[in-house]
Amino acid sequence: MTASFGAQSTTDEVLAGVELRGKRVLVTGASAGLGVETARALAARGAKVVGAVRDLAKGAAATAAVREQAAQGGGLELVELDLASLASVRACADALVADGSAFDLIIANAGVMACPFGRTTDGFETQFGTNHLGHFVLINRIASLLRPGSRLVNLASAGHRFADVDLEDPNFDSTTYSEFGAYGRSKTANVLFAVEFDRRHRDAGIRAAAVHPGVIQTELGRHMTPELIAQIMPPPTPGEEAAAPAFTWKTIPQGAATSVWTGVVADAAAVGGRYCEDCHVAEITEDPLARGGVRAYALDADRARALWAKSEAMVGETF
């Protein structure tokens, strides 16, 4: 690895001295929060950023700072993408492939969290369909545009610890829905997708990793009621105060730092097929009190292959 960074590092600190002129990057969810900051930090170092957004007008207004701070050679182009509609996903992917311009980095940043039960346009449970299946189709359809030496970064979450994927009932047809259970499934899927994508493409010099950005106050938390917050952050029991590290919020620049660190700065071989947090590769842990770490099931290679096959069956495409 290069310089040492941590939980409090920002995008600008991580990318200090990095030159990205001539690089092309796709960032999904570039109209708010982490997506805007990720696009800004990359464009400010000269990268040409393609921001995929659901609402082009909102995206244009939200990314004014990206254009203002773009370095020479860098800039931002917006494309329309609704991850909850496979027709939109396929149209976006087809347009990118038709354009033919290669990518050096894809940051799959967009997503939803802890929303009430619902279904995507195609009938998938909203969180699994949006966070995983939408990105699964998009990225696989544009995989031919990835140059040797390029990377895929999937935004996962420490929320993967809420639940493993359920390959028998991914849409909650027969199991009881819970907001964070569904979120956990989708975030575990994000990690497993990176594991299998990395396995399939690393011989071509393309690596993939998943990242946990930290806990940040952004639009992602629009569904967070006090009751839901209490589910994931209950008051500590006696003795836990000393055992568990103190919780701290991150700023948006701190939250986006691990994405750009993993995609640009870290050694590709070190992060490939791994889960990263706080600008380092996370260790596997089953400790319920640990703030950091990744569950073993999220990195399980057999589970990753099984999820890939299930995802292909669900979307009706083979990659």
Is residue 2 included in any domain, yes or no? Answer: no
The predicted model scores a pTM of 0.91
Q: What is the CA radius of gyration of the chain?
A: 18
What is the model's pLDDT at position 249? 86
CATH code of the domain in which 141 resides:
3.40.50.720
Is residue 6 included in any domain, yes or no? Answer: no
Is residue 5 included in any domain, yes or no? Answer: no
**Does residue 183 carry a catalytic annotation?**
yes
Is residue 143 included in any domain, yes or no? Answer: yes
Residue 219 structural domain: 11-315
Is residue 3 included in any domain, yes or no? Answer: no
Is residue 1 included in any domain, yes or no? Answer: no
What is the spatial order of strands in the sheet that 207-212 belongs to? 75-80, 48-53, 24-28, 103-108, 146-155, 207-212, 275-277, 280-281
Model confidence at 98, in pLDDT bands (50, 70, 90)?
A: very high
Cα dihedral value 48, 50, 55, 59, nearest 10: -20
Which pLDDT tens digit goes with each residue over 272-288? 999 999 999 999 999 98
Which pLDDT tens digit goes with each residue over 205-260? 999 999 999 988 765 555 445 554 544 444 554 555 555 555 678 999 999 999 99
Is residue 118 included in any domain, yes or no? Answer: yes
Distance between CA atoms of 196 and 273, rounded to whole angstroms? 8
Dig out the tokens for 206 from the structure: 């393309």
**Count of the separate structural domains present in the chain:** 1
Concatenating the DSSP letter of every residue in 62-104 gives HTHHHHHHPPTT-EEEEEE--TT-HHHHHHHHHHHHHH---EE
Distance between CA atoms of 82 and 55, rounded to whole angstroms? 8
> From the candidates 177, 183, 275, 297, which is the catalytic residue?
183
